[in-house]
Amino acid sequence: MFTEDFLHYIWNFKLFNTKELKTVQNEPITILKSGQHNTDAGPDFFNAQIKIGETIWAGNVEIHINSSDWIKHHHEKDNAYNNVVLHVVYHHDVDIRNATGNHIPTIELKNLIDPKLISNYKQLISSKNWIACSKQINQVDDFILQNWLERVVFERLERKSIEINQTLLLNRNDWEETFYQTLFKYFGLKVNSQPFLLLAKNTPLKIIDKHKNLLSIEALLFGQAGFLNNEFDDEYYLKLKKEYHFLSAKFNLKPLDASLWKFLRLRPANFPTLRISQLANLVAQEPRLFSKILEINSVQEFQKIFSVTASSYWNSHYQFGNTQKINTIKRTGKIMTDGLIVNVVVPILFVYASSIQNDELKNKAIRFLEQLNTEKNTIILNFEKLGIKSKNALQSQALIELKTNYCSHKKCLNCSIGSHLLKK
């Protein structure tokens, strides 16, 4: 049929006939305030104001499909529900009381909700399409769509902020170390994000900072990644191994298990060996990356910094010991550099701006997203097929958030698009 969430939505927005409203006990009732929606334990709405007869009641509202759900959920024994002043149900099948034995006034919504609203809801929730509103979304007014996408992209940044703040806390408010770890994690993309994050934590920036020589930085990273435990006779490999042997003893370092790294089904350009060399070149050129990003005012400057090559050995290799016939410079491509701006720079700037209450810096981070081309992935392409075209990275990030955090979980009631379609 439908869920309690639907009834919460109906109650919250008063989407039912409130004229000459009466309780099931035939008492006249007026809803002065619906109350504040509670998503935690306890009654569904706090601080409502209800006029029953000539008396105004202030308290909480509990909502169920059937009145008997009150008993099914054992509310009649729970003192947390003693302040409930109104029980709102779709179907009334039994009178209920609270833990003190007092009768709870009840209203039944069954004949008060527009059948079209229920029909629209059932159509969305039962949809098996890629998103519930696949057939209707292109009918939504552009003003509603754009306003919602703007809000959703901020939700995405706030959600990413939680993880960054947790990392910052663990790093004792060290922004450079936090940026360094976030950067490493993204370099691994989805498949190797955790090994790259472990590598960053296992090789702190304070150790990297002590070395300006690229060979030393590569030796530290490859050694800590567990890639220098084999017996290859390549000159480059042997130099790295010798350097790491010295540095690991000096700093008492313990390498990761090399089995953590995944190569299977990865494009060779995304092999962790290449990415580690590129990272080494990046941190060798710009050791204080967080301080650097605060100075930058255009995406072109970021693209220039993040466009780095792996060391020349990797021109003819993808893994240690395996020589390739074709010689090519292994540079980070535009998709990678733009991805670093979208997924590392902008979220970090957003969090930092929030922490120092700098709206100008926050707006600058948003402008970087507006200046970047839209991302290309399955989600964006599927939205395009539905007539929703992304113009820049700001909109593509919003669409990704919309799909992953709303559409995939059928949160149509929490979505402005879904809400608009329900009321049509």
Burial class of residue 101, CB neighbours in 10 A (0-12, 13-18, 19+): exposed
* 1 pLDDT higher than 80: no
pLDDT tens for 101-159 read 999 999 999 999 999 999 999 999 999 999 999 999 999 999 999 999 999 999 999 99
Cα–Cα distance, 368 to 342 (Å, whole number): 8
Identify the pLDDT of residue 287.
86
Burial class of residue 351, CB neighbours in 10 A (0-12, 13-18, 19+): buried
Delimit the domains of the chain by residue range. 4-113, 152-371
Cα–Cα distance, 273 to 311 (Å, whole number): 11
**H-run or E-run covering 211:** none
Residue 297, classed as helix, strand or coil, is coil
If you average pLDDT over residues 69-73, what whole number do you get? 97
Q: What single string gives the DSSP state of each residue in 344-405? A: IIHHHHHHHHHHTT-HHHHHHHHHHHHHSPPP-SHHHHHHHHTT----SHHHHHHHHHHHHH
* 233 pLDDT higher than 80: yes
- pTM across the whole model: 0.90
Name which of 90, 100, 46, 48 is nearest 68 in CA terms: 90
pLDDT tens for 310-352 read 999 999 999 999 989 889 999 999 999 999 999 999 999 999 9
Q: Side chain identity at 376, as an amino acid letter? A: K
Identify the pLDDT of residue 424.
81
pLDDT tens for 144-195 read 999 999 999 999 999 999 999 999 999 999 999 999 999 999 999 999 999 9
Q: Side chain identity at 111, as an amino acid letter? A: N
> What is the bridge-based pairing of β-strands 317-319 and 322-323?
antiparallel
pLDDT tens for 72-97 read 999 999 999 999 999 999 999 999 99
Identify the pLDDT of residue 2.
81
Max Cα distance, the chain (Å) = 93
Cα–Cα distance, 275 to 308 (Å, whole number): 10
DSSP code, position 317: E
Residue 88 · residue 104 · CB < 8 Å: no
* 303 pLDDT higher than 90: yes
Which tokens sit at 12?
């919250």
Torsion-angle region of 226 (φ positive above 0: left; ψ -120 to 50: alpha; else: beta): left
Cα–Cα distance, 133 to 127 (Å, whole number): 8
**H-run or E-run covering 67:** none
Cα–Cα distance, 231 to 198 (Å, whole number): 24
Identify the pLDDT of residue 274.
98
Name which of 90, 84, 83, 35 is nearest 67 in CA terms: 90
Residue 252, classed as helix, strand or coil, is coil
Strands (E), 27-157: 29-33, 36-37, 45-52, 55-66, 84-91, 106-108
Residue with tokens 């926050």: 362
If you average pLDDT over residues 385-396, what whole number do you get? 97
* 100 pLDDT higher than 90: yes
Residue 56 · residue 79 · CB < 8 Å: no
* CB neighbours of residue 128 within 10 Å: 6
Reported as a pLDDT band with limits 50, 70 and 90, residue 393 is very high
